[in-house]
Amino acid sequence: MDPLLRLTMRLLLWLRHPPSRPHLIAILAALALAMAVVVLEAIFGWPEWLTPDRGGRIIR
């Protein structure tokens, strides 16, 4: 199924049956946390210790 169509159908379902207040708070908290990570990465960059090593043997 087309992802845009699936998103539209999910949004229509949410309009007909809105989520409860605790569910909405959890969704907004997850979005805020994700946006905070994106902003911190944009400001400080990606840490070198989290970058995987490219060397080594490739197992196939």
Q: Give residue-wise pLDDT tens across range 6-18.
A: 999 999 999 999 9
Q: Give residue-wise pLDDT tens across range 19-46.
A: 899 999 999 999 999 999 999 999 998 8
Q: Which two tokens stand for residue 23?
A: 């569910």
Specify the 3-state DSSP secondary structure of 48: helix
Q: Give residue-wise pLDDT tens across range 49-58.
A: 888 777 666 6
Distance CA 34, CA 42 (A): 12
